[in-house]
Amino acid sequence: MKILVPTKRVPDTDQRITLREDTHQIDDAQLPYIVNPFDAIAIEEAIRIQEAGPQEVEIVAVGIGTPEYEKELRTALAMGADRALIIRCDAVLDPWNVAGILKRVVERETPDLVLMGKQAVDDDANQVGQFLAALLEWPQATFASNIECTENGLRVEREIDAGIETVQIPLPAVVTADLRLNEPRYASLPSILKARKKPIQEITIEELDYSIEPRVELINLEAPSQTRSCQWIDSVDHLVDALQEVLP
Amino acid sequence: MNVLLIAELQDGEIRPGSLSALTFARQVALETDGSVQWLLLGENLEEATTDAARYAPVLFCDAAIFATTAADSWATAIAEVVSAGKFDLVVAASGTFAKDIVTRSAGLLGGAMASDVLGHAFVDGRLQLQRGMYAGSILATVALLGSPQIVTVQPSAYAAAEPSETSATVTNVQPDTSRLPQNIRLEHLASKRGGRPDVTEAAVVVSGGRAIKSSEDFESLVGGLADTLNAAAGSSRVLVDAGIAPNELQVGQTGKIVAPEVYLALGISGAVQHMAGMKNSKVIVAINNDPDAPIFEVADYGMVGDVYEVVPQLIERLG
């Protein structure tokens, strides 16, 4: 079995995101980057499927971006991915083009399963997994909180608005990871050292024969202003008064 | 623009979020001299189509294959109706139904999509959409390139639409259901929510955080106060991770986005990811034992205190 895990490089979620005064773009000068937390959960799940056996599992991590991306892909390799691909692209891509590039990667790598985060925590779009499944005409199971390999494919528990839904899907398939699928491991020092020797293959968009067609035009970014001021309440009596005032 | 609004049904009824999405759809149609039609998929849809027709003309497909939701068959059917009807804009309420299914439809329709839209404007005749990024710390304005455009609307950002004065037409559309992909099989749906309003639909939300130590305490404090106020119960991520609260109650960047009249935060410290889901509430009341907790930065009323002491008194006084 081969599992492809697409990953995105995103600003560390502990960082405060601000805009540059001059350009109104994200001020990324000092921002540390990490593997998108949902993608880290996907990597962890792939490793657990590999560890559970008995079938042989190969895990291929994919990143799309500039050469700087290598650092985050090394993290994926240190966690336990077997090898990585970096699709070299300097442009900022919208979800449609990410899915289009990943489709080409899937056609090259022919994985049995694409396992990825349900959303990237920078643009919060929650689209790429579903787009990719549509383009490949594969079944999908989004927002996975549990994955079990079965004789015919996968049984996936999904976190949906109504509760937990369990679905059965055949392979190949696209599964997107939700928060409670697992807790990703930290890479140990020996595995970090070992990861330095694991291969990262560079592929250009031209080699994939993909041409970017934007679907989303970014017109403006702004930081919403926070205008509330907190009125402090010092007793339950006053809290009851305040609530009776504001409750519909 | 000719707009197709995908209805989300629950127990055979249109969910309130779809009526908020209808408000967005109507505004876009009005500005562009266009039209709005519903699309309802399901089984035994008679009551739902009659109800939907009070608001706008209805297209529906009543078939056994749509008795339960499955992303592959539903997305393909929706895409076929969109293409056959030459719709310019597909709209749905943001939620796991639309994120799963309508997003897949967008993947079949060229991928010009914006999710979780909070507002819109027409600039030089062109639809511009506002949406949050980075857990709501940045507000982006985008325009979609290509047609059809697909938009999911954050229900809290638009008021629910009112019915029209006369009932509109109801038209059966029959996509060739035998050709639809059917590779996703539903085995089971487990819901732990009992009786309370949905957290995205309630006028008042009582939400619990790290201070709550067990599911029994969650039920007695958060659930107890929610019942007293006829409110929905909500939760921060930490309680869902710990198994104290069920997942469908999670409010935040990756959970549900809410904007009730009143949001009561009980023992919630206020991580950025949580505040992304509730900071647009009309009034925010926070109780926390740490006066420096970030939740107070977005609160209108704040009380420093132990929820285990304060909440039982509130239940007694407000009951």
Q: What is the pLDDT of residues B35-59, one digit of tens each?
A: 999 999 999 999 999 999 999 999 9
Residues of A with Cβ-Cβ distance to B286 under 8 angstroms: 230
Percentage with pLDDT > 90 across chain B: 86
Structure-model confidence comparison of residues A67 and A50, the more confident one: A50
How high is the pLDDT of residue B174? 85
* pLDDT tens digits, one per residue of B63-105: 999 999 999 999 999 999 999 999 999 999 999 999 999 999 9
User: Which of B96, B139, B287 lies closest to A161 in CB terms?
Assistant: B96
CA distance B96 to chain A (A): 5
| Average pLDDT, integer, range B211-215 | 96
Distance CA B49, CA B252 (A): 33
In sequence order, which residues have a C-beta less than 8 Å from that of residue A196 and are 6 or more positions away? A74
Reduced to 3 states, what is the DSSP secondary structure of residue B180?
Answer: coil
Could A243 and B107 be called an inter-chain contact, meaning their C-beta atoms sit closer than 8 Å?
A: no
Class of domain B204-318: alpha beta
Could A124 and B115 be called an inter-chain contact, meaning their C-beta atoms sit closer than 8 Å?
A: yes
CA distance A99 to chain B (A): 9
Residues of A with Cβ-Cβ distance to B317 under 8 angstroms: 236, 240
Q: How far is CA A179 from CA A159, B3, B31, B244, in A?
A: 9, 34, 40, 15
Same fold, B2-179 and B204-318: yes
**Domains of chain A and CATH, by start:** 2-218 (3.40.50.620)
Q: Within an 8 Å CB–CB cutoff, is residue A83 touching chain B?
A: no
Say yes or no to pLDDT of A238 above 90.
yes
Could B314 and A240 be called an inter-chain contact, meaning their C-beta atoms sit closer than 8 Å?
A: yes
Q: Within an 8 Å CB–CB cutoff, is residue A52 touching chain B?
A: no
Q: How far apart are the first and last CA of chain B?
A: 50
User: Which of B190, B203, B313 lies closest to A236 in CB terms?
Assistant: B313
What are the start-end ranges of the E strands in chain B?
Answer: 2-6, 9-10, 13-14, 35-42, 58-62, 89-93, 113-123, 126-133, 138-144, 149-153, 170-172, 185-190, 204-208, 232-235, 262-266, 283-288, 301-304
Q: Tell me the pLDDT band of A28, cut-offs 50, 70 and 90.
A: confident
How high is the pLDDT of residue A35? 94
User: Which of A164, A169, A231 lies closest to B247 in CB terms?
Assistant: A164
CA distance A93 to chain B (A): 12
How high is the pLDDT of residue B140? 96
In A221-240, the residues whose Cβ lies within 8 Å of chain B are 221-224, 226, 228, 230-234, 236, 239-240
Nearest in space to A222 (alpha carbons), one of B81, B98, B158, B142: B142
Ramachandran class of A163: left when φ > 0, alpha when ψ lies in -120 to 50, beta otherwise: left
CA distance B50 to chain A (A): 24
How high is the pLDDT of residue B193? 57
Distance CA A166, CA A156 (A): 6
Residue indicated by tokens 């749509």? B66
CA distance A198 to chain B (A): 32
Residues of A with Cβ-Cβ distance to B140 under 8 angstroms: 218, 220-221
Class of domain B2-179: alpha beta
How high is the pLDDT of residue B280? 87
| Average pLDDT, integer, range A65-90 | 94
Q: What is the mean pLDDT of chain B?
A: 94
- Chain B's closest residue to A11, CA to CA, is B134
pTM across the whole model: 0.94
- Chain A's closest residue to B282, CA to CA, is A246
φ, ψ at A33 (rounded to 5°) = -115, 155
Neighbouring-strand partners of residue A216:
B144
Most confident of A110-119, B6-15, B276-285: A110-119
ipTM over 0.90: yes
Percentage with pLDDT > 90 across chain A: 84
Residues of A with Cβ-Cβ distance to B95 under 8 angstroms: 161
Both tokens assigned to B149: 């455009």
Both tokens assigned to A203: 């592929």
Residues of A with Cβ-Cβ distance to B114 under 8 angstroms: 216
Say yes or no to pLDDT of B186 above 90.
yes
Q: How far is CA A18 from CA A28, A29, A33, A226, B295, in A?
A: 8, 11, 15, 14, 20
Q: Tell me the pLDDT band of B192, cut-offs 50, 70 and 90.
A: low
Say yes or no to pLDDT of A9 above 60.
yes
Nearest in space to A182 (alpha carbons), one of A83, A82, A52, A61: A52
| Average pLDDT, integer, range B253-264 | 90
Could B96 and A160 be called an inter-chain contact, meaning their C-beta atoms sit closer than 8 Å?
A: yes
* pLDDT tens digits, one per residue of B270-294: 998 899 899 989 999 999 999 999 9
User: Which of A13, A139, A161 lies closest to B97 in CB terms?
Assistant: A161
* pLDDT tens digits, one per residue of A121-161: 999 999 999 999 999 999 999 999 999 999 989 999 999 99
How high is the pLDDT of residue B194? 65
User: What are the sequence ranges of the domains in chain B?
Assistant: 2-179, 204-318
Q: Tell me the pLDDT band of B253, cut-offs 50, 70 and 90.
A: confident
How high is the pLDDT of residue A48? 97
Both tokens assigned to A168: 């059965």
Q: Tell me the pLDDT band of A225, cut-offs 50, 70 and 90.
A: confident
Say yes or no to pLDDT of A60 above 70.
yes
How high is the pLDDT of residue A24? 80
How high is the pLDDT of residue B100? 98
φ, ψ at B301 (rounded to 5°) = -125, 135
* pLDDT tens digits, one per residue of B94-143: 999 999 999 999 999 999 999 999 999 999 999 999 999 998 889 999 99
Could B138 and A222 be called an inter-chain contact, meaning their C-beta atoms sit closer than 8 Å?
A: yes
Distance CA A181, CA B84 (A): 39
Angle B201-B207-B212 from CA coordinates, rounded to 5°: 155
Residues of A with Cβ-Cβ distance to B204 under 8 angstroms: 247-248
